[in-house]
Amino acid sequence: MALVREITPSVIWVGAIDWDRRLFDALIPLPNGTSYNSYLIRGSQGTALIDAVDITKMDVLIGNLNALGIKKLDYIISQHAEQDHSGGIQKLAKLYPKATIVASGKCKELLVAFNLVSEDRVMEVVDSQKISLGDKTLEFIHAPWVHWPDTIFTNLPEEKILFTCDFLGSHLATSDLYAMDEATVCESAKRYYAEIMMPFRQNIRKHLDRIKDLRFDLIAPSHGPLYSHPNFILEAYRDWSSENVKNQLILPYVSMHGATKAMVDYFVDAAIARGISVRQFDLARTDIGELAEALVDAATLVIGSSTVLAGAHPLALYAAILTNALRPKTKFVSVIGSYGWGGKMVEQIAGTIPNLKVQLLNPVVAKGYPKASDFQALDRLADEILAMHKELKIA
């Protein structure tokens, strides 16, 4: 059965909900699935489709367009060349041979590079360029580095709708077309922000400033529910992308035989006793999306690792590599862990996070199972973290 949902008489959701997808980019866990939103805009003199869907869901999009009796598309707007939105463009270009594909210059280059369309089918649009569909106007806003260099937003002033592709979106399969349960949507959106947008904080702030003066009532991202009351998500993005950190300690760790774990347990209690909020993540089991989300606000990161084959445990290094790539606004970093005879566990972790503009606090490393002196050292580290947080006036 086709599922099409009317947003206004001229704007129809024709996307696909991917309830079962559990992994994205071979990296990001999707505990709640996702959706690929695609929007049909019918003007008095033309019809446009904003974004396609993932190739695996093209039958759904085509079924939806057929159900609406769409025989002709004048424009297919590719807001972003990534395959979850543009993977199906090749098929659409064949089905609608008269359609002009509209994209930024960078997006055009990438669509061609990924063999999704031939160059002659794409019309490149510059920032603020408009296309008229008669009684409806599409206005394109260049928004590079939502996470790729190619993204555009599409403003539809007559309907007061702003289409934002990945920006403000959430990986959330739900029957709600609009964000009803704001807490759930906000959490999914935060996770998504953390996983792909956090490294581009300054650009995210620019995009927030750029759209401030547009008069929209509705924000329509290309993943997750739409925002009929967009203030909460805009405010959340402002906070996440600001340089403000919170009195939080994030503690991803790995422990093979319990020594590092004993240090983590002690250290978590020491932090709580000092009024610092803590989240610990056992890297052998954790969902790295949760870790990424936790890193959005935290002032301090402490990585816990055993020493393995002369270095850090590979799972601790994985967490460090990921954190380095995500560039959270974390201000302080330290390492705790255990060794048996020697190795460069701390040096290896510290050498893995050159992108983080952080102050490194003295590590605490125990020989074997931690002793009283190691616990005292953990107390000192907790004191130091508290003092740093007080200096930032967050504790």
Ligand X SMILES: Cc1cc2nc3c(=O)[nH]c(=O)nc-3n(C[C@H](O)[C@H](O)[C@H](O)COP(=O)(O)O)c2cc1C
- Name the residues that contact Fe ion, by CB under 5 A: 82, 84, 166
Which partner in Fe ion, ligand X, none is near 5 (CB below 5 to 8 A by kind)? none
User: Which backbone phi and psi does 155 adopt, to 5 degrees?
Assistant: -100, 135
> Whose Cβ is closer to ligand X: residue 296's or residue 302's?
302
String of contacts with ligand X for each residue 248-277, x by CB under 6 A? -------xxxxxxx----------------
> Whose Cβ is closer to ligand X: residue 257's or residue 390's?
257
Paired with 298 in beta bridges are 246
Among 23, 309, 357, 372, binds ligand X (CB under 6 A): 309
Our finding on whether 281 is near ligand X (CB under 6 A) is: no
Give the CA distances from residue 94 to residues 91, 118, 164, in Å, rounded to whole numbers and listed in that order: 5, 11, 26
String of contacts with ligand X for each residue 327-366, x by CB under 6 A? -----------xxxxxx-----------------------
> Whose Cβ is closer to ligand X: residue 124's or residue 282's?
282
- State in angstroms the smallest separation of the CB of 365 from ligand X: 10
Q: Of 172, 196, 169, 154, which Cα lies nearest the Cα of 40?
A: 154
Contact 35, 16 (CB under 8 A): yes
User: Which backbone phi and psi does 342 adopt, to 5 degrees?
Assistant: 150, 165
- State in angstroms the smallest separation of the CB of 34 from Fe ion: 8
> Whose Cβ is closer to ligand X: residue 258's or residue 351's?
258
CA-angle at 224, arms to 150 and 95, nearest 5° = 60
36 contacts: CB under 8 Å, gap ≥ 6: 15, 16, 18, 51, 52, 53, 54, 57, 84, 85, 222, 223
Distance between CA 282 and CA 242 in Å, rounded? 28
> Whose Cβ is closer to ligand X: residue 31's or residue 368's?
368
Footprint of ligand X on this chain (CB under 6 A)? Answer: 255-261, 306-310, 338-343, 368
